[in-house]
Structure 1
Amino acid sequence: MKTTNPLTIAIVLLSTSLFVIGCNPVRIHEADQSYMTLYEAKQKAKKEDDIHALLLARSGFTNLARESAAAAAELRTKRREAIGLGRVSAGSVWQAEPWRDQPHAQTINSSPDGTAESAANVKAYADIGLARCGEDLNIAPRDCGMLALIPHLAAIDEKTFLYDQIKDNDSQDWDGMRKVFDSYEYNLTKLIGPTAPPSRVSRKSLFSLKASPEFRKAIDLNIETTFCNLQDQIAAYIDQHEPNALNCSTGDQPTDVKQLKCHVEKFVCKAQSWLKDAEPKFTLGETCDYYSEQTPNADGSQPPGSCPPTASN
């Protein structure tokens, strides 16, 4: 089973909501309409396994990203419109990335113009729009919130593709798996970890914005999808190759895979405790079955698929 690419539903929800609200300038409406047209064409191409049409849609997203960024740069005084165009630009360059196009990503593994693509490219576009937001994201809560969030989910997205390659080839590339886990750990910590003060991309900060309920729902859906990918795919793959229980508190020098397994299982339990303690309340169990809480084994190891009753925050 393939892991799920994060934020597809969020992009659709937020783009569609612009037409319902009807409070953005014409240029934003045109950019959003172009985005939705390309998105629908891309989904159709993927469904029909039409590589040529998929490449055309990706090329269209690349052009839309550049045109929206250029249009935003021209708006010296119309700050909210510039921010909206920045959101379209960042979302478009993300949709142009080949690793969003499973199962076709390995067939078309470069950008339409032949340059290498990466999550850093998405972040560069998002940062341009985010700079117009300044310190107060409520200047345009939906758009600024998206611009803050997109780079983190794009980074997870990119490493999810790397995980799929490792799993499909069963290469047991533990250095690659560590990179996958490190990205999941870093970005999930930013989104739901207890930091003081909260980062502006944290769930708590994003929920404080004056944005729509759909925005919050999309955030939670993507957080849970990311968590479930980590638990049900990445942790499960490692466990498949290292099924023996591991006592993480011992002073042994574990192999790389055992050490990675220990780190992943500890973080899964930590992230699960963050989700359970989240305010506003996080609705758990919609996407995957969460680890149960069980008493450790006699040797101190934790039963597979379980967390200690007092998982540390």
Structure 2
Amino acid sequence: MKRRREEEEMEIVWQTPANPPERHDYIFRNAFRHEPPVMAWDVSILQKEPDVLTVCKPASVPVHASGQYRKNTVVGILEAEHGLAPLFPIHRLDRLVSGLLILARSASKADFFRQQVKCMLPYPSNGKKSRIEARVVHKQYVAKVVGVFPEDEQVVNVNVNFNVREGRSTVEVESAGNACTSLKGKAASTKFTRISTNGTHSIIRVHLQYTGHPIANDMLYLSDEIVDPFSKGMGADSTAGVSEEDSKEGFSIDPMCTNCPNLAHKGYDTDQEGLWLHCLRYTGPGWTYECPYPEWASLD
């Protein structure tokens, strides 16, 4: 806290119960942010237009600032390394998912895209149009899954609900196994097509689990058992537990920061590197943006 004593003189004063702030005091607060690490992969710019920017987002990097992440984000990296700001992400892409990310370069363009992403065309009376076909914007992903996926096209129409206790999304089904018509969960439809036998994202993940072919490195959905998201070494969305002794090694402790002694070690778990789930394409009225296939999905 700085307290003005004379016209051009400032004095640094520590605020205490015996020395509370006074009127016209300048109050400063020191904050230590311990940001989690991300993989050192580039955020590749795919297309740069006056009002739209498309990039290939690497896995492990969140799209924007949230939680403990402030600088290690796609938006933060693009601003720091390319001077691109402001940027407005127009769709979600989970931290552990890679692929196409579309960012508007103005608020008006962002609103234009977001309205299209949310828009649904009216269903025809004959009921021939599916939820997917009724959408104005179509999105396409590629995933590497467990087992040999069926050759014929698979369409999953089941409601999805996020289970806070389990820390993951679950499908709502009746006891007989039919899709539940309850309005508690989010209505969702996903169409799957096998492209190779060798090679809202939580919806895709849980729908693939529902078909019996979860993403091959998605520890959160590989098992039907309840997963404790805070347990040691469980899943791609959580940090593996470490001993207190290990957690104090490999980093310096700032004497002014009360959180430093409680930090985990500087290592990075392999299950934090990302999922085998990659956004390939977004298509809307009069526009299409694409992203190259990832290395793990090469068709060569």
The bucket for the TM-score relative to the shorter chain is under 0.3
Which TM-score applies when normalising by structure 2? 0.23
Which TM-score applies when normalising by structure 1? 0.22
Higher alpha-carbon Rg: 2
Greater relative contact order (Cα < 8 A, sep 6+): 2
Looking at secondary structure, tell me which structure has more helix per residue.
1
